[in-house]
Amino acid sequence: MNTPSHVIINLAIFSKLPLPQANLAIAIGAVLPDLPMFGFYIWLKYVRKMPSREIWSKAYFEPFWQNIFDVVNSIPLIVIGFAIAYYCNWPIAQVICLSMLLHCLFDLPVHNDDAHRHFLPFSNYRFISPFSYWDPRHHGGIVALLELILVLLATLQVFPAIHSWLGKGLMLASNAFYIVGYLKFYVFSLMLGSLRKDRLPKSP
């Protein structure tokens, strides 16, 4: 799933937590598993000047980067973090860990060849799902539509409880981005591809 989706959906699921500043902790936990990937992309794209296609097809799969990505997506390590936070009575840290855990559980069934090793350090196993949240070769259009619907429904639930105009604006911008992105990449591109096929000369 896309990072803003994790934030909005996690906020909807944990919206009833009776804890001051819970929303900020939920948002931090929802973003943390993807945070190294943002740094990775910024470094290679804007500092190393590497083409995006090479970033995602080659650099992403290098062992150094995979280890970094997988450590912050490790379910056992997150559970251990939650146990430590619970023992030390750190409620904010507990919420962050719960939000990270939910992020990983939502990611687990929608990653194909880009799957994480969610069970480090006890196992290097990767669950290669038949579904992808972005790849059309693995039902990406269907999964992206389901994600869009979930985000819209979660926004309807969460929006009234967000008191910051910045938060409301970011949520609306995320919804607009998803709608436009879905139409562009999964609707208009398919229609354009179909039209191009129709215009190709048919073999005798």
In a domain, residue 169? The reply is no
Query: By percentage, how much of the chain surpasses pLDDT 70?
Result: 91
In a domain, residue 85? The reply is yes
Rounded to two decimals, the pTM is: 0.88
Q: How many domains does the chain have?
A: 1
CA–CA distance, 30 with 4 (Å, rounded to integer)? 8
Query: Model confidence over 110-133: pLDDT tens digits?
Result: 999 999 999 999 999 999 999 999
In a domain, residue 204? The reply is no
Query: Model confidence over 169-180: pLDDT tens digits?
Result: 988 998 898 888
Residues 6+ apart with CB under 8 A from 34: 3, 6, 103
In a domain, residue 196? The reply is no
Across residues 81-92, what is the average pLDDT? 97
pLDDT value for 161: 81
Query: Model confidence over 11-60: pLDDT tens digits?
Result: 999 987 777 678 899 999 999 999 999 999 999 999 999 999 999 999 99
In a domain, residue 185? The reply is no
pLDDT value for 62: 96
CA–CA distance, 133 with 107 (Å, rounded to integer)? 9
In a domain, residue 175? The reply is no
For the chain, what is the mean pLDDT? 89
Angle (nearest 5°) at CA 129 between 128 and 132 = 115
Range of the structural domain that residue 116 is part of: 3-143
CA–CA distance, 28 with 107 (Å, rounded to integer)? 16
Instruction: Check pLDDT > 50 for residue 195.
Output: no
The pair of three-digit structure tokens given for residue 36, joined into one six-digit string = 């190294």
Query: Model confidence over 33-42: pLDDT tens digits?
Result: 999 999 999 9
Q: Pick the residue with more confidence: 193 or 153?
A: 153
DSSP string, the chain: --HHHHHHHHHHHTTT---TTHHHHHHHHHHGGGHHHHHHHHIIIIIS---HHHHHHTGGGSHHHHHHHHHTT-HHHHHHHHHHHHHTT-HHHHHHHHHHHHHHHHHGGG-STT---TTTTT-------S--SS-GGGTHHHHHHHHHHHHHHHHHHHGGG---HHHHHHHHHHHHHHHHHHIIIIIIHHHHHHHHHHHSPPP-
pLDDT value for 54: 95
Our measurement of the distance from residue 89's CA atom to the centroid of its chain's CA atoms, rounded to an integer in Å, reads: 29
Contact (CB, 8 A) for 107 and 34? no
In a domain, residue 193? The reply is no
In a domain, residue 90? The reply is yes
Cis, bond preceding 121 (omega within 30 deg of 0)? yes
